Amino acid sequence: MTWDVEVLVNNAGVGEGGSTLDIPALNIRREFEVNVTGPLLLTQGIAKQMVKRGKGRIVWVSSREGLNVNPFTGIYAASKHAIEAIAETMAMELQEFGVEVATINPGPFLTGFNDRMFQTWQSWADDPSERLFDYSKLAFPRAQFDPEPVYATMTAVAAGDVDTYRNLEPKQMIDETKRLQQAPWDRKTTDGLGTRPGQLQASYDMEPETPIAV
């Protein structure tokens, strides 16, 4: 089958919230099937058609969590870290064939996605008494931005009006993101041991659907 796809935007994704120690196996597998395996298998066929034509553009919608992490989003972040690895490798592999690859990295936008991710525990087929955390007390640990900037960036990247490989929105989070990427190089295994990290405490303190104060 030849679809003659000129631009592929891989935007399929689900978010599974919860501790890496609590999320059931079925939910972990679904996270990777939807966010990683399915889009990659789709891309394989379309990318080879682009190679034959000598042109095309593939856009992977990753996440800021493909570069950083937050408490209780580790499995989702892991799937987006996988997307980062796939996209960067694919960019190298397709360069000589004239096929462009880019990523979009949305941060915490108030679309409902982040808050729904902290409700998935309600459908887990597990023993609640064995959970490390009480998820009825937790919320997404950050205030969230108006989503309009990321819509504009996604459209521009897909159309080729923006040619940067990595495109993080909102742009005011770029410096923080880079700083947090560097932080593990300096962290020690004993830092803060026996205390609750501030980022994790924020999940207890934050109310769902909290917008960024303007």
Q: Find residue 10's DSSP bridge partners.
A: 60
The residue count for the chain:
214
Which single residue is written with the structure tokens 């059931």? 24
Q: Number of H helices and number of E strands within the chain?
A: 7, 4
SS3 category, 124 = coil
SS3 category, 137 = helix
Active-site residue, 151 included: no
Nearest CA to 106 out of 74, 148, 78, 141 is that of: 148
Q: Which positions are annotated as active-site residues?
A: 76
